[in-house]
Chain A
Amino acid sequence: MGKQAYQNSRDSIKDVWGKRTPYHQHWTVRVDKQVTEEPDEWIQSACVLCSNGCGLDIGVKDGRIVGVRGRAEDKVNLGRLGPKGLHGWVANNSPDRLTKPLIRRNGHLEEATWDEAMTLMTLKTKELVEKYGAGAIGIYTSGQLFLEEYYTLAVITKAGLGTPHTDGNTRLCTATADAALKISFGTDGQPSCYADIDITDCILLVGHNVASQQTVLWMRILDRLAGPNPPKIIVIDPRNTFTAAKADVHLRLKPGTNIAVLNGLIHLLIKNGNIDEDFIQNNTVGFKELEKQTAKWTPELVEKVSAVPADLLIKAAKIIGTAKTLLSTALQGVYQSMQATAAALQVNNIQLIRGMIGKPGCGVYQMNGQPTSQNTRECGANGDFAGFRNWQNKKHIKELAKLWNVEPSKIPHWQPSTHAMQIWRYAEEGSIKMMWIQATNPAVSLPGLERIRKILQKENLFLVVQDAFLTETAKYADIILPAALWGEKTGCFTNADRTVHISHKAVEPPGEARSDLDIFFDFAHRMDLKDKDGAPLVKWRTPEETFEAWKQCSKGRPCDYSGMSYEKLSGSPGIQWPCKEEYPNGKERLYTDGIFNTGYDICETFGYDIITGVERNKKQYKANDPGGRAVIVAADYETPHEEPDDKYPLWLTTGRSVYHFHTRTKTGRSKALNDAAPDVFVEISHEDAHSYGIEEGDMIKVVSRRGSVKAPARIADVIPGTIFIPFHYGYWDKDQSEHERAANELTLPVWDPVSKQPHFKYAAVNMTKVS
């Protein structure tokens, strides 16, 4: 067979978004494909390299993955794939995959058998629990696993071990989306669907560089822009990104001023009467306070605080206010910034006061940063309680206890689950003596890395790292468990518009690597985790059995999967939840009847003081039960915890590149992706380049109170006074002696009081040219 026997669709590195298929009445199919040879078979799956969850088939030849092809019938992408989806699979075949368990002996990691590794792990766990209690164990998981793995882990940790210290790296990316949805609408759950892009009149993107982060979603928007009725695009971002370049109005704001700008928009919407008074009256609570709070946010005040010109704000508000249908999105520019939850709530508020929820072309995407982070929230592996249940609702706890056949008191609910930054603080302090880190790389992705490295090196912290590669974090482990990747195991996952996909096992994992699910089963068995009748706690032994168990847990709750099955999902174009008797093929939008999940016995939270993070209790909530109405929460502007001063006169903001995912454990191992973005850089404005005498390519040293980074300068259209560094670049592919490459050397270990999501998006720094 010659080289032309297979036809790859495009060079997605050079042409990120591919050919346009202008939108005329419906979005059309465009199948993207990238293979190194023609496969013998195609196995159904979906992409795991962003929260879009594009349906794709994995191409297999001779037991190896040789490429991917978008699924034409999939409702999420109609065949399209972005550069990460088209190239990321290459990492599966990387020769440096972990294939054997490793145990640290005499200071070195040595190969061991699974029996040796698991025996040591469970011995150590039992020893610690006996001597110090379950509170000595911390679990730090990931937004990279499958639904079945999350559900099993949730049962193990909450009903087996009984530790409240379970969270994951989703705390770093979508804890705020989770919090905002719960507070406004009663429970988690994205109200809209991606199909709303096809018909909306206006898209407001707040801190969401969708062109780089969800390339296929951007393709859908570009196709609308190329069609006969393009929507208006409003972008709020300190950088002139690819997304902002297509905006009708780009509000370029200073870091830390989201609330000012959003309050300013709301102020104008109210002033101009662009609100749905009937909807506000009948379907929401809290509007009066919002009106009061936003009264002072005139365009002039907004300009003073945020540097957004008053006339631009007015222009944006007019477009947003008069659009017949409106769709808003938010991502890390909101979630990793100061006042994250407060700002995310204002985005919800814009939709609510315009009465634009639950209707076609309307709604809000509180986006997810990771492909399967939705599942951690649903299954309760991230600190939430399975099935969107409320830790303060005794009835909800009893439901879980009955389902898992344990005493309610076994499930830790004297506090909400401990959040990630606090778990790491307990480890630093020494009360947590064992950390089980799964499929994530905190040595590069947490804020303030110098401190994190010290914690990982602690003598009395027993570290178990479960991963597919020897990451920067894994290098500190006492035990390494080699894990299978996507494509090497069967399971399901759910994207950011509630679409569930099944991913079938396409190839065997390399060497002795095992699926995370099998590792969890083994752990539960060896730990002898039992229910209250002495039977095994984990009653399922295959991915499908786990899925069926999860269905039972979700039944009757908003995230109802009871109408789904592996059979139904296989060959399907993706099925949205709720999927039950009433909606056998899933439901496109939530809250179509204007009734939200805020009733006191349904809701997932009783709300918060959004400045202090104090969660309300049932009594307080019942006294003003919204009873099905959406909750509008107002917020005033607060200055960021750290601001530029004489010593550190610049703002640093961090973010992502279109070619990389997280800390590049996978994408760094694809030559195409890595060549496209091989190393860290510092993006600075023309103005700052001029005043500092810096030219393109000059080596810069950036310093904060936490550490320093050295990187070459790139001159770009970022707001003067602010510099940008992508956070992906750690040390696994470079000399580890000097830690001056990862952006998180510089960032602040502070977090949002409600969502507990760290503030990665701002820090005070100085910069100098390195000769």
Chain B
Amino acid sequence: MGISNYISYLQRSEEELAKAFKDVSKEHMREPDVYEMCRLFASWSLDHVQNLAAMLSRYGKEKENEPGQMVYSLLGRTTGSLGLLGDLRLLWVMTNEVKLGWIILQQCSKALQDEKLKLACVQFGSQTIRQTEWLTMKIKHSAPQILTVPL
């Protein structure tokens, strides 16, 4: 079934996202709120990974691997506050990709009349939405200082 392929893709995306959050938290340890929040978000994404694994076992074995997130490799290229802004933007892209993934899966769950899957998508998808909201807020708050006030 195509859906198992998709669940597997979403699982890998969440795994990569968790790793990205952890890396960004370490890279920007001097920004305490970034550090703490990225670690929290990494734990959410890892939790999603576990739950997606459980869903996979219900929908059958995964097929061949799709290519991973290209965006992840762009992280950490620049240092300092510009680097922070860049990393936050990339995280934003990755998180929105995952958000879309949950939307797609939720739609499928309706077509399949799978209430359990739908509820899972609502629960985990809402956490992904909260991740994106925080990233948007942090970017909005930091960008003016980073981009208009030179060091």
**Beta-carbon nearest neighbor of B137 in chain A:** A614
Give Cα distance in the complex from A414 to B37, angstroms: 22
- Give a binary string over A604-617; 1 marks a CB under 8 Å from any B CB, 0 the rest: 00000101111100
Q: Does the CB pair B33–A132 fall under 8 Å?
A: no
- Measured CB to CB, the closest approach of chain A to B16, in angstroms, equals 21
Whether a CB of chain B sits under 8 angstroms from the CB of A426 is yes
Whether a CB of chain A sits under 8 angstroms from the CB of B58 is no
Query: In the complex, which range does the number of interface residues on chain B fall in?
Result: 20 to 34
Highest count of chain B CB atoms <10 Å: which of A136, A428, A612, A641: A612
Give Cα distance in the complex from A434 to B80, angstroms: 20
Q: Does the CB pair B130–A641 fall under 8 Å?
A: no
- Give a binary string over A729-771; 1 marks a CB under 8 Å from any B CB, 0 the rest: 0000000000000000000011101000000000000000000
- Measured CB to CB, the closest approach of chain B to A616, in angstroms, equals 9
Whether a CB of chain B sits under 8 angstroms from the CB of A431 is yes
- Measured CB to CB, the closest approach of chain A to B26, in angstroms, equals 15
Q: Does the CB pair B150–A425 fall under 8 Å?
A: no
Q: Does the CB pair A421–B140 fall under 8 Å?
A: no
A residues in contact with B148, CB < 8 Å? 133, 135
- Measured CB to CB, the closest approach of chain A to B65, in angstroms, equals 32
Whether a CB of chain A sits under 8 angstroms from the CB of B4 is no
Whether a CB of chain B sits under 8 angstroms from the CB of A227 is no
Q: Does the CB pair A431–B30 fall under 8 Å?
A: no
Give Cα distance in the complex from A682 to B33, angstroms: 30
Q: Does the CB pair B150–A612 fall under 8 Å?
A: no
* Top-5 shortest CB links A-B: A135-B149, A430-B151, A614-B133, A612-B134, A431-B149
- Measured CB to CB, the closest approach of chain B to A466, in angstroms, equals 24
Whether a CB of chain A sits under 8 angstroms from the CB of B31 is yes
Whether a CB of chain A sits under 8 angstroms from the CB of B144 is yes
**Beta-carbon nearest neighbor of A421 in chain B:** B32
Give Cα distance in the complex from A431 to B151, angstroms: 5
- From residue 31 to 75 of chain B, which have CB atoms closer than 8 A to chain A? 31-33, 36-37, 40
A residues in contact with B32, CB < 8 Å? 421, 425, 749-751
Q: Does the CB pair B134–A428 fall under 8 Å?
A: no
A residues in contact with B144, CB < 8 Å? 135, 414-415
Whether a CB of chain A sits under 8 angstroms from the CB of B141 is yes
Whether a CB of chain B sits under 8 angstroms from the CB of A582 is no
**Beta-carbon nearest neighbor of B141 in chain A:** A415
B residues in contact with A750, CB < 8 Å? 32-33, 36
Q: A425-B30, A428-B30, A431-B81 are in contact. Are A753 and B37 (CB under 8 A)?
A: yes
Whether a CB of chain A sits under 8 angstroms from the CB of B145 is yes
Q: Does the CB pair B36–A431 fall under 8 Å?
A: no
Q: Does the CB pair A612–B37 fall under 8 Å?
A: yes
Q: A415-B140, A429-B81, A614-B137 are in contact. Are A751 and B149 (CB under 8 A)?
A: no
Q: Does the CB pair B145–A431 fall under 8 Å?
A: yes
- From residue 96 to 151 of chain B, which have CB atoms closer than 8 A to chain A? 130, 133-134, 137, 140-141, 144-146, 148-151
Contact of B146 among A414, A431, A749 (CB under 8 A): A431
- Give a binary string over A130-152; 1 marks a CB under 8 Å from any B CB, 0 the rest: 00110110000000000000000
Q: Does the CB pair B36–A641 fall under 8 Å?
A: yes
- From residue 601 to 647 of chain A, which have CB atoms closer than 8 A to chain B? 609, 611-615, 641
Give Cα distance in the complex from A425 to B37, angstroms: 16
B residues in contact with A615, CB < 8 Å? 137
Contact of B150 among A132, A415, A418, A753 (CB under 8 A): A132
B residues in contact with A613, CB < 8 Å? 33, 134, 137
- Measured CB to CB, the closest approach of chain B to A431, in angstroms, equals 5
**Beta-carbon nearest neighbor of B35 in chain A:** A750
Give Cα distance in the complex from A415 to B136, angstroms: 12
Given contacts A133-B149, A431-B150, 18 further A-B contacts (CB under 8 A): A133-B148, A135-B145, A135-B149, A136-B149, A414-B140, A414-B144, A422-B33, A425-B30, A426-B145, A429-B151, A431-B81, A431-B151, A609-B134, A612-B40, A612-B130, A613-B33, A614-B134, A750-B33
14 examples of A-B residue contacts, CB within 8 angstroms: A132-B149, A132-B150, A135-B144, A135-B149, A416-B141, A425-B32, A431-B81, A431-B146, A609-B130, A609-B133, A611-B130, A612-B37, A613-B134, A614-B134
- Measured CB to CB, the closest approach of chain A to B122, in angstroms, equals 15
B residues in contact with A422, CB < 8 Å? 33
- Give a binary string over A396-428; 1 marks a CB under 8 Å from any B CB, 0 the rest: 000000000000000000111010011001101
A residues in contact with B145, CB < 8 Å? 135, 418, 426, 431
B residues in contact with A133, CB < 8 Å? 148-149
Give Cα distance in the complex from A677 to B28, angstroms: 41
Give Cα distance in the complex from A421 to B36, angstroms: 14
Contact of A614 among B31, B130, B146 (CB under 8 A): B130
- Measured CB to CB, the closest approach of chain B to A202, in angstroms, equals 37
Give Cα distance in the complex from A612 to B129, angstroms: 11
B residues in contact with A415, CB < 8 Å? 140-141, 144
Q: Does the CB pair B81–A612 fall under 8 Å?
A: no
**Beta-carbon nearest neighbor of B151 in chain A:** A430
A residues in contact with B137, CB < 8 Å? 613-615
Give Cα distance in the complex from A614 to B129, angstroms: 11
- Measured CB to CB, the closest approach of chain B to A271, in angstroms, equals 26
**Beta-carbon nearest neighbor of B134 in chain A:** A612
A residues in contact with B37, CB < 8 Å? 612, 753
- Measured CB to CB, the closest approach of chain B to A37, in angstroms, equals 51
Give Cα distance in the complex from A611 to B148, angstroms: 30
A residues in contact with B36, CB < 8 Å? 641, 750
**Beta-carbon nearest neighbor of A431 in chain B:** B149
Give Cα distance in the complex from A422 to B142, angstroms: 10
Give Cα distance in the complex from A751 to B36, angstroms: 10
- From residue 495 to 534 of chain A, which have CB atoms closer than 8 A to chain B? none
A residues in contact with B30, CB < 8 Å? 425, 428-429
**Beta-carbon nearest neighbor of A135 in chain B:** B149
Give Cα distance in the complex from A619 to B140, angstroms: 18
Give Cα distance in the complex from A462 to B149, angstroms: 16
A residues in contact with B146, CB < 8 Å? 431
Give Cα distance in the complex from A749 to B148, angstroms: 26
B residues in contact with A414, CB < 8 Å? 140, 144
**Beta-carbon nearest neighbor of B132 in chain A:** A614
- Measured CB to CB, the closest approach of chain B to A95, in angstroms, equals 41
Give Cα distance in the complex from A252 to B139, angstroms: 41
Give Cα distance in the complex from A615 to B141, angstroms: 12
Give Cα distance in the complex from A133 to B144, angstroms: 11
- Measured CB to CB, the closest approach of chain A to B57, in angstroms, equals 27
Give Cα distance in the complex from A615 to B40, angstroms: 18
A residues in contact with B133, CB < 8 Å? 609, 612, 614
- Measured CB to CB, the closest approach of chain B to A277, in angstroms, equals 29
B residues in contact with A429, CB < 8 Å? 30, 80-81, 151
Give Cα distance in the complex from A418 to B130, angstroms: 22
B residues in contact with A753, CB < 8 Å? 33, 37
Give Cα distance in the complex from A429 to B82, angstroms: 11
Give Cα distance in the complex from A750 to B141, angstroms: 18
- Measured CB to CB, the closest approach of chain B to A35, in angstroms, equals 48
- From residue 577 to 614 of chain A, which have CB atoms closer than 8 A to chain B? 609, 611-614
Give Cα distance in the complex from A753 to B36, angstroms: 10
**Beta-carbon nearest neighbor of A134 in chain B:** B149
B residues in contact with A432, CB < 8 Å? 149
